[in-house]
Structures are given as C-alpha cells and as structure tokens.
C-alpha cells in the first residue's frame, strides 16, 4: 500500500530526534563538567600570583586580556569574514563582557574584602536560583517540584562544602557585592544560552566578551578605581619556584579560555537552568585541586556537602528529562462539515492530501 512506507518513516523520525537530543544533551553535560573543573583551577593559579605581590585586579585584568589574545585567531577564523554576525551580536557580547566576565569577578573581589570567602561564595552561587527565578518571571517556566527540591539540596550542600560553621562577620556592603556577583553568574548562563536564529559561536562570544571585559577593567585601573600592582619575579606553584609567566598562562588558558568556551557551549545545549546547576561542580573541583595541589584535605562535612550538590544537580537533570519526554498533544483534525469536502473516513487505503 502506498502509505506503508510513509507511516514507517514517520514512526522512525521521533526515535531519531530523541537519539539526537540525547546525544546533544550528553555532549552538553560533558562540556559543563569540563567548564566547571577547569574553572576550579583558577584558585591555584591565582594564589601563586597573589602570593608574589599581585593585586587581585591585576591578576584578573591579565587573565582576561591574555585569554582574549589567545582566542583572537580562532575567533577570526570561525567568523570567516561574517563580521555582520558580530555586529548583530555586539549588544549581547558587550553585556556578557561587562556583567558576566568583568563585573562578576570585580563584584566577587569587592565582596571578599568585607566578608569571609566561604560566605561570599555561597551568596555568589545563588546564581542558579536567580536563573530559575528569571525563567519563571520572564518566560513563565514555573519551577516544578524536583527542581525546587534539587535547588534546596544543592544550596545546602554548597553551605556544607564551604564549611560555614562558626561565627562569620557579615557586612551589608559585602553582601551587596556578593549578590551582584550572583547576578553576574546568572547573566553568564543566561546570555551564554543564546536562542537567536544565528547566535555568535561560543569561541567568538567568549573572545568578544573578554575583549570588552578586559578593556573595562583596564579603564577602571587607569582611572585609579582599582589598585593594579604586579611583579615579574618567580612565583610558588606546586611547591616549586616557577616563572610568573607559567601562572599567567595557566590562569588564562586552563582557567579562562577552556571553561568560558565550553561553558557557553554547554549552556546552549542544556539551557541556562541545568547548565548553571552543573556549574556548581566548580566548587567541588576547586576543593579537589586544593587537596591535590596544595595538600588541603577536605573534611567529612565537605564530602557530604559534595554528595548533596550532586544529588541536587541530578534532581534538576531528571526534571529536565521528564519535561522533555512528555508527548506533545496531536494536532486537532479540522472539521470539514458543511464545506462541501467529502470525508475520507472509512477509506484508509487512500492517503489524505494536505495543502502546502
């Protein structure tokens, strides 16, 4: 019969689409984990520079500027002369550079000057909660039960990983800076998950944002708003004296170029919400690298907190899969009564013709 092959083909298409979606989701999770792990190395590289007399602002400016320089050739090659694409995405790239790259780091460093690092990190990593709230208010994506439970579990685990026990001095101005850093973190995931018809490639997006962020921070440094001091002597890394260039290259390539590019790619495959929760693994990787590189053994509470974070991310992931697996309602069949068109019911051997 003439309709058999067509029906079989239509039956196979959803399976292929599902397999393609799962493959893209798996790649997105892999990119998100790579981004979180490589972001977690920034503390080890930055600590060597700060210990040698570098100011936080100088380390951040150098980090972003060198990373932008590294991405220049790949970004130009990926554009392939499509400069109009860069012009159309200039607003998004500028916002990404000012808020997600420069602003997030600047706000965080201002926060840790007034409050403990653990408290500042906990407030900054409220970013995934802000992403959920934004998607609810802006797009009507109300968080479901598993997402809410996963959020609570992840935040509780984050508090345990950061070891917030004991008295902590809370400064209102520091809280403000830390919450602004959370806004910057949420902006990173929301702008990275571009839904334009022709978005900037991840390499180009990261490169353009870093160029804008480095220029903005350099301008603040030249204006005297940021203390910028650097040194060219050897730094201590892995309990050895190495050139400061080694630390700068590691901070720029391993802790900037790789995580920013893979993080944008992950956001576009997973969406801002899931990518932001997987990004919580950055805290776990930072503790892991502190253990392996600096000999700082995590406590039992931190191990339990890590389990809570992983459980929270898993719940959010299961919620996303449940949503994606819900069947779409079939298109209603229009009634043709009174239109003079003969019904095809009872004649299954003839295919129904559809207008183009």
Residues comprising the chain, all counted: 356
| Residue 233 zone, left/alpha/beta (φ > 0; ψ -120 to 50; rest) | beta
What does the alpha-carbon distance between residue 102 and residue 211 come to, in Å, rounded to a whole number? Answer: 10
Q: Which residues pair with 241 in a beta bridge?
A: 236
Share of the chain above pLDDT 70, in %: 79
**Statement: residue 127 has pLDDT above 50:** yes
How many Å is the maximal CA-CA distance in the chain?
Answer: 89
List the one residue out of 38, 46, 15 whose CA is nearest residue 108.
46
Assign 240 to helix, strand or coil.
strand
**Statement: residue 159 has pLDDT above 90:** no
What does the alpha-carbon distance between residue 210 and residue 7 come to, in Å, rounded to a whole number? Answer: 50
**Please, which residues have CB within 8 angstroms of residue 164's CB and are 6 or more apart in sequence?**
118, 119, 122
Enter the tokens of residue 147.
Answer: 């997402």
Asked if 12 and 221 touch (Cβ cutoff 8 Å), the reply is no
Assign 236 to helix, strand or coil.
strand
What does the alpha-carbon distance between residue 214 and residue 60 come to, in Å, rounded to a whole number? Answer: 8
Q: Phi, psi (5° rounding) for residue 97?
A: -70, -40
The better pLDDT of the pair 122, 218 is held by 218
What does the alpha-carbon distance between residue 19 and residue 62 come to, in Å, rounded to a whole number? Answer: 43
- Number of CB atoms found within 10 A of residue 134's CB: 18
Enter the tokens of residue 166.
Answer: 């004991």
Which residue has tokens 């802006």?
A: 138
Q: Which of 121-125, 296-300, 347-351 has the lowest mean pLDDT?
A: 347-351
**Statement: residue 143 has pLDDT above 60:** yes
Assign 287 to helix, strand or coil.
helix
**Statement: residue 346 has pLDDT above 60:** no
Q: What is the pLDDT of residues 167-206, one digit of tens each?
A: 555 678 888 998 899 999 999 999 988 767 788 999 999 9
**Statement: residue 300 has pLDDT above 50:** yes
Enter the tokens of residue 251.
Answer: 């901070």
**Statement: residue 315 has pLDDT above 70:** yes
List the one residue out of 131, 191, 149, 124 whose CA is nearest residue 317.
149
**Statement: residue 116 has pLDDT above 80:** no
Assign 281 to helix, strand or coil.
helix
The domains of the chain are located at 39-322
**Please, which residues have CB within 8 angstroms of residue 37's CB and are 6 or more apart in sequence?**
281, 282, 285
What does the alpha-carbon distance between residue 14 and residue 1 come to, in Å, rounded to a whole number? Answer: 22
What does the alpha-carbon distance between residue 192 and residue 186 come to, in Å, rounded to a whole number? Answer: 10
Residue 290, classified by CB atoms within 10 Å of its CB into exposed (0-12), middle (13-18) or buried (19+), is: middle
**Statement: residue 293 has pLDDT above 80:** no
Chain centroid offset of residue 284 CA:
15
Q: What is the pLDDT of residues 256-283, one digit of tens each?
A: 999 999 999 999 999 888 888 888 888 7
Which residue has tokens 């980090």?
A: 63
Q: What is the pLDDT of residues 228-262, one digit of tens each?
A: 999 999 998 878 899 999 999 999 999 999 999 99
pLDDT of residue 164: 63
Helices 145-161 and 127-139: crossing angle in degrees, nearest 10, is 160
Q: Phi, psi (5° rounding) for residue 240?
A: -135, 155
Q: What is the pLDDT of residues 67-110, one digit of tens each?
A: 999 999 999 999 988 899 999 999 999 999 999 999 998 888 78
Instruction: Report the pLDDT averaged over residues 50-72.
Output: 93
Enter the tokens of residue 89.
Answer: 């995405």
The better pLDDT of the pair 89, 4 is held by 89
- Calculate the average pLDDT of the chain: 80
């Amino acid at each position: 019969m003439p309709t058999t092959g067509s029906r079989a083909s239509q039956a196979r298409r959803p399976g292929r689409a599902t397999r393609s979606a799962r493959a893209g989701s798996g790649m997105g999770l892999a990119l998100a984990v790579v981004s979180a792990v490589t972001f977690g190395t920034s503390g080890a590289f930055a600590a060597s520079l700060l210990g040698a007399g570098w100011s936080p602002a100088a380390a951040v400016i150098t980090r972003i500027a060198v990373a932008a320089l590294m991405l220049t050739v790949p970004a130009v090659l990926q554009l392939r002369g499509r400069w109009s694409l860069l012009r159309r995405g200039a607003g998004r790239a500028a916002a990404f550079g000012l808020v997600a790259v420069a602003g997030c780091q600047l706000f965080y460093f201002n926060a840790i000057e007034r409050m403990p690092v653990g408290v500042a990190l906990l407030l900054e990593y409220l970013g995934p909660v802000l992403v959920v709230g934004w998607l609810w208010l802006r797009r009507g994506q109300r968080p479901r039960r598993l997402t809410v439970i996963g959020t609570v579990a992840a935040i509780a685990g984050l508090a345990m990983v950061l070891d917030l026990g004991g008295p902590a001095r809370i400064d209102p101005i520091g809280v403000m800076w830390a919450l602004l850093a959370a806004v910057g973190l949420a902006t990173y995931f929301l702008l990275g998950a571009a839904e334009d018809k022709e978005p900037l490639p991840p390499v180009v997006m990261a490169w353009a944002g870093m160029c804008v962020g480095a220029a903005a921070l350099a301008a603040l440094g030249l204006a005297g708003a940021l203390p910028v001091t650097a040194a060219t002597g050897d730094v201590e890394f892995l309990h050895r004296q190495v050139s400061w260039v080694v630390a700068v290259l590691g901070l720029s390539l391993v802790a900037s170029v790789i995580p920013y590019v893979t993080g944008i790619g992950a956001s576009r495959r997973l969406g801002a919400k899931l990518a932001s929760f997987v990004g919580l693994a950055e805290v776990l990787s930072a503790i892991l690298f502190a253990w392996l590189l600096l000999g700082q053994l995590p406590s039992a509470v931190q191990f339990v907190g890590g389990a809570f974070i992983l459980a929270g991310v898993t719940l959010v992931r299961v919620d996303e899969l449940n949503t994606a697996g819900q069947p779409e309602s079939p298109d209603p069949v229009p009634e043709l009564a009174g239109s003079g068109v003969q019904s095809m019911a009872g004649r299954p051997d003839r295919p129904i013709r559809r207008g183009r």
